[in-house]
Amino acid sequence: MFYDVTCFFIGIFARLFFPLRIIGSENIPEEGGVIIAANHLSYLDIPLLGYSINKTRQRHADFMAKKELFAIPVIGFLFQKLSSFPIDREKVDRAGLREAVKRLRSGRMVAIYPEGTRSRDGRLHAGKPGVGMIVRMSGKKVVPAAIQGTDKALPPGRWLAKPTPVTIKFGRPLDFCDVGKGGKGGKEGNERESAEQITKVIMDSIAVLAESLSTPSSHPPSQPPLPPR
């Protein structure tokens, strides 16, 4: 109930300040564990992405967020009440990865920003291998998402948002269930290489979606190919 009430107020805020356009929400499964992987431009990304999912698919998203946010009194309380969980960006946080996998296997939706931090220049940067590790460990599909406009509404270093159109576009689910099987070399090397491959495909998918928002056309962009199996 707290999540739904929060989304209700975010919706009012969004309608007043951000003409919010949501594209491709039908690509989000109505049930079952799934990963939402999006680019990260602003602190507005978390509330607006969560609201978009709740508004169009009536689902709750558990956000993986940097642990520093949980130390801020009000924000940390809200994150906990909204079922988010912390991740340590300074290392391979296996506890955080296991928590994500546990939630996915229980049928929950987990939202991740693979870049690990907000983009300071508005460009999409390389993703961290953690999202690939989560995919490998959970076996769940990934819905890529591109967010546009939040960096202009509330860029890093600014605390007062200004009215700006925002668009969130969801792509078709990516299935990596067979990626990395039957490879050569040691197990640890295979797992690391597979995680990096998965992360790259996810980031390429986000890049395609973001490009389609910048250069609209009458033909939908094609999804990048999955890595060799």
pLDDT score at 9:
94
Domain residue spans in the chain? 2-214
Of 43, 54, 46, residue with least CA distance to 7: 54
Token code pair at residue 93: 């946080």
pTM, rounded to two decimals? 0.88
Helical segments of the chain, H only: 2-17, 45-57, 73-81, 94-105, 130-138, 150-153, 187-214
DSSP string, 137-163: HH---EEEEEEESHHHHS-TT--S---
| Ranges of residues in the chain whose predicted pLDDT is under 70 | 180-189, 216-229
pLDDT score at 187:
58
pLDDT score at 228:
47
Please provide the average confidence, as pLDDT, over all residues in the chain: 89
Token code pair at residue 24: 């491709």
User: Which amino acid appears at position 21 of this protein?
Assistant: R
Per residue in 137-192, pLDDT (tens digit) is 999 999 999 999 999 999 888 888 999 999 999 999 999 987 755 444 445 557 88
* 30 φ/ψ angles, rounded to the nearest 5 degrees: -75, -20
- Which class is domain 2-214? alpha beta
